[in-house]
Amino acid sequence: MEVESLAREMETAVRVVHLASSLCVKVQEKLRLPSSINGNGNGGHVKSKDDDSPVTVADWGVQAIVSWILAEVFGTQNLSIVAEEDTDSLSKAESLALLGAVSNVVNEALSEATKYGLTKPDEPLGSDDILKAIGRCNSTGGPKGRHWVLDPVDGTLGFVRGDQYAVALALIEDSEVLLGVLGCPNYPVKKEGLSNGCNQSGAGSVSKGCVMYAKRGSGQAWMQPLLPNGYPESATLLKASTVDDPVLATVCEPVERANSNHLFTAGLANSMGVRKQPMRVYSMVKYAAIACGDAEVFMKFAQSSYKEKIWDHAAGVVIVEEAGGVVTDAGGRKLNFSKGVYLEGLDKGIIACSNTVLHDKIIGAVYASWESSSL
């Protein structure tokens, strides 16, 4: 497929995800401080949403800076951003302290924007600017036109637990995911990987944090190290694993039982001859693990009543596919990004694989196992 250059879009997206990832690193460090230093244990940085899932100043902070930068670079006219957070709880009168905390992290991050080759505001953003930037991301997407899709902190539970999480930004045009960028600030990257692709094994030290990105149709997915203070000079090519024997395959899946049926995936893996224990990881880092060759399979089978959101998959799908992998629902169909916020019509679950051989085996195994499952 011919994809227009999108060079400016890609460059902006990669740079802003670096900046956003550095914001998250700082907030996560604060969350890990002992409660004696941090007041009530999280310094008021973590709140519960209506569904009881956590939301933090990092979620709102990242959404604000990504929205602000995209608006600066591409203008607000026709700017459609579909993103996870809204301003409902943040704009309440009793949330002044929380809004102040968000404002602090946003302005701290934006003051560093030039280190990432991005424009910084002439003066610190006020609360109204920040609410406006967050609130602007209320697009519901759709089949036509261009939509940015953002999960500011994917795997917020992992984030508050000091574990893995991701910043995910994608660009969808006419229902197709054209660009994907994943910031994985806690992902362990083998040092060899920074010069040869992170699937190289062998002795060597491990560094923490990377940003992965890919453009549809390029046949290439890239990884950069996440630096503590600025934009890196280099990027290395990613390559998904060529392992096609289930005995040697690593399967990853959500940590939380509530998010995927561990019993069903264990039965599936067993029926295919998978021997290794599953690698349970929060967030879209699972897509990153497939793209860089650290794992071969990612499976997610949520409860049938749960509707998957596009921001939890868009960036990961294009990165895995351009790294040589394949992503479909459990019926073998491409994920459908044309229906707005949700991945409508999803057949049973999501299966991402490093290659088609393994993928075909899993799809076959799903149907054999499904009848006897309790999903």
Ligand X SMILES: Nc1ncnc2c1ncn2[C@@H]1O[C@H](COP(=O)(O)O)[C@@H](OP(=O)(O)O)[C@H]1O
Residue 250's Cβ-count burial label (10 Å; 0-12, 13-18, 19+) is buried
306 binding partner (options Mg ion, ligand X, none; Cβ < 5 to 8 Å by kind): ligand X
Angle between helices 96-110 and 127-135 (to 10 degrees): 90
Q: One-letter amino acid identity for 139? A: S
Q: Could you tell me which residues come within 8 angstroms of residue 193 by beta carbon, excluding any fewer than 6 positions away?
A: 199, 200, 223, 236, 292
**Binding residue numbers:** 84, 151, 154, 312
Min separation Cβ 255 and ligand X, Å: 6
CB-nearer residue toward ligand X: 185 or 225: 185
CB of 315 to ligand X, least distance (A): 12
Q: DSSP secondary structure string, 35-78?
A: TTTSTTTTTT-EEE-TTS-EEEHHHHHHHHHHHHHHHHHH-STT
Phi-psi region of 126 (alpha: psi -120 to 50; beta: other; left: phi over 0): beta
Q: At its nearest, how many Å lie between ligand X and the CB of residue 299?
A: 11
Q: Give the other-Cβ count within 10 Å of 88's Cβ.
A: 11
Q: Are 145 and 180 in contact (CB under 8 A)?
A: no
CB of 88 vs ligand X, minimal distance in Å? 16
Rounded to whole angstroms, what are the CA distances from 96 to 24, 131, 249?
Answer: 21, 12, 49
- Enumerate binding residues for Mg ion (CB under 5 A): 151, 154, 312
254 binds, among Mg ion, ligand X, none (CB under 5 to 8 A by kind): ligand X
Cβ nearer to ligand X, comparing 198 with 346: 346
Active site residues per annotation: 59, 156
Which residue minimizes CB distance to Mg ion? 154
Please give the residue ranges that form the binding site for ligand X (CB under 6 A): 53, 84, 151, 154-157, 254-256, 258-259, 282-283, 302, 306, 309, 312
Q: Closer to ligand X at the Cβ: 85 or 173? A: 85
- Residue whose tokens read 């992998």: 325
Q: Please report, in range form, the residues annotated as the binding site for Mg(2+).
A: 84, 151, 154, 312
Closest contact distance (angstroms) between CB of 168 and ligand X is 8
Which residue, 88 or 256, is less far from ligand X as judged by CB?
256
Q: Amino acid letter at 10?
A: M
Q: Return all residues near 41 (Cβ < 8 A) that are at least 6 apart.
A: 35
Nearer to ligand X, 141 or 197 (CB): 141
Which of ligand X, Mg ion, none has residue 85 at its interface (CB below 5 to 8 Å by kind)? none
Q: With CB cut-offs between 5 and 8 Å by kind, which of ligand X, Mg ion, none does residue 246 bind?
A: none
Among ligand X, Mg ion, none, what does residue 259 contact (CB within 5–8 Å per kind)?
Answer: ligand X
